[in-house]
Amino acid sequence: MKPDIKEIVSHFNIEGTFKEFEKIDTGHINDSYRIMTNSTNHPGYFLQWINTNIFKDVIGLMNNISAVTSHLAEKLAKNANLNFKVLEIIPCKDEKKYFRDENGHCWRMYTFIDQMHGYDVVENTKIAFEGGKAFGIFISLLADLPADRLTETIPDFHNMEKRLETFVNSVKSNPADRVKEIQEEIAFVKQQTEQMLTIPALIKSGKLPMRITHNDTKFNNILFDNTNHAMCIVDLDTVMPGSVLFDFGDAIRTGANTAAEDEKELSKVDVNLPIYEAYTRGFLKNTGSALTEAEINNLAFSARFMTFIIGLRFLTDFIDGDTYFRTAYPDHNLVRCRVQFRLIEAMERNAEKMHEIVMHSI
Ligand code: GN1
Ligand code: MG
């Protein structure tokens, strides 16, 4: 059944009255809508259905976003020269940060960020540099937010050991009878496993510190203004303690891939080194001096680590019969996985160059 958007909006404390809405096709988890009102001097609103199969603790989730956005807003008020925007939660009329409808569906609202755009494929090095700088600033501004203010919205989100365990169990139980189609991918996972487990080992040993990180740094989660200045980081659902490697790696996975995340023509997949270099320089500009030796030494590898963990999740979801990520056709998750695995191979061939670039940018 289609949700009654106008009725849902009526529970939020908005300026003006509801006029119309438009569904926005973004992300693989939540559903998003742009809400237009009759108010001429207001950009309207961004309404989201929160996928509670994935975000089970909605109160914890919204408290996290609230803690992060207030912290950022306070910092930005003192640093006007940063020229950065922060998401603004629009509470409900009863002051709650989300609305639960009669079917138990949960909704939240932000002010719409007007006249901004994102990039699914990064067009040039200036944009990559700006993007890297923005995520670097984001992490540095959050460095002094006490970690105990945040809950883990998705436990073990980038825990490679757990993700591998889940994968092995899915292969064993083979619920959708798809394992026969993925023998090559299973072999690739086996071949990569040992190296991928070096990161959780460094985390356990304390050599890789936990910081407050975004954890879902797809390049299109950075919004740019019309002069291509990176203005705002969105999608704050997974801001929680994590490694800086998670944020750097996922941005490279998405920003420095020459093809789309779900490109069917695998020969188009490659790592764009100039984009990688520009992003790295931008990112390290504000974070470089705070990083430990283990972080620096693993930064280039983190791109492979994150590409692997997300490829593995796409593959696991394919085996499970597509229960987690939104898909548009039956083997969409497998196509996504193959792109990730191909990108890892390209990054392996360039591993030395990628590490040198980090060392030159620090
Ligand atoms: C999901 O929905 P979206 O695109 O923001 C996923 C990320 C993956 C990404 C892959 C909460 O993010 O971890 O990297 O898909 N988010 C969650 O494109 O699982
Ligand atoms: Mg997301």
Ligand 2 mean position, distance from CA 28 (Å): 7
Ligand 1 mean position, distance from CA 220 (Å): 11
CA 340 – CA 59 distance, rounded (Å): 33
pLDDT at 37: 97
How many C-alpha atoms does 107 have within 13 Å on its Cβ side? 25
Pairing of strands 31-37, 18-24: antiparallel
Pairing of strands 211-213, 240-242: antiparallel
Cβ contacts of 277 within 8 Å, gap of 6 or more: 125, 357, 361
Per this entry, what is the length of the chain?
Answer: 362
* Burial of 194 from C-beta contacts in 10 A (0-12 / 13-18 / 19+): exposed
**DSSP class of 256:** S
Ligand 1 mean position, distance from CA 270 (Å): 21
Ligand 1 is surrounded, with C-beta below 6 A, by 27-29, 54, 216, 218, 235, 237-238, 261, 310
CA 289 – CA 146 distance, rounded (Å): 21
pLDDT at 348: 98
In angstroms and rounded to an integer, the radius of gyration of the C-alpha atoms of the chain is 20
Best probe residue, ligand 1, of 65, 162, 216, 302 (max atoms within 8 Å of C-beta): 216
The protein residue with its alpha carbon nearest to ligand 1, atom 15, reads: 28
φ, ψ of residue 35 in degrees (nearest 5):
-110, 125
Q: What is the dihedral of CA 245, 250, 253, 255, to 10 degrees?
A: -110
Q: Could you tell me the two tokens for 275?
A: 């984009």
pLDDT at 40: 87
Ligand 2 mean position, distance from CA 176 (Å): 26
The DSSP-derived string for 306-336 is: HHHHHHHHHHHHHHHTS-SS--SSTTHHHHH
Residue 119's alpha-carbon distances to 130, 221, 345, in angstroms, are 12, 8, 24
Ligand 1 mean position, distance from CA 19 (Å): 31
The protein residue with its alpha carbon nearest to ligand 1, atom 13, reads: 216
Ligand nearest the Cα of residue 28 is 1
pLDDT values of the chain reduced to their tens digit, one per residue, 362 residues: 799 999 999 999 999 999 999 999 999 999 999 999 999 889 999 999 999 999 999 999 999 999 999 999 999 999 888 999 999 999 999 999 999 999 999 999 999 999 999 999 898 999 999 999 999 999 999 999 998 899 999 999 999 999 999 999 999 999 999 999 999 999 999 999 999 999 999 999 999 999 999 999 999 999 999 999 999 999 999 999 999 999 999 999 999 999 999 999 999 999 999 999 999 999 999 998 999 999 999 999 999 999 999 999 999 999 999 999 999 999 999 999 999 999 999 999 999 999 999 999 99
**DSSP class of 258:** S
The protein residue with its alpha carbon nearest to ligand 1, atom 17, reads: 29
φ, ψ of residue 24 in degrees (nearest 5):
-110, 130
pLDDT at 80: 84
Q: What is residue 110's three-state secondary structure?
A: strand
Cut 0.95: pTM above it: yes
Q: Among 34, 35, 39, which residue's Cα sits nearest to residue 16?
A: 39
The residues pairing with 37 across neighbouring beta strands, listed in sequence order, are: 18
* Burial of 160 from C-beta contacts in 10 A (0-12 / 13-18 / 19+): buried
Q: Which residues are placed with Cβ below 5 angstroms of ligand 2, an ion?
A: 216, 235
pLDDT at 137: 95
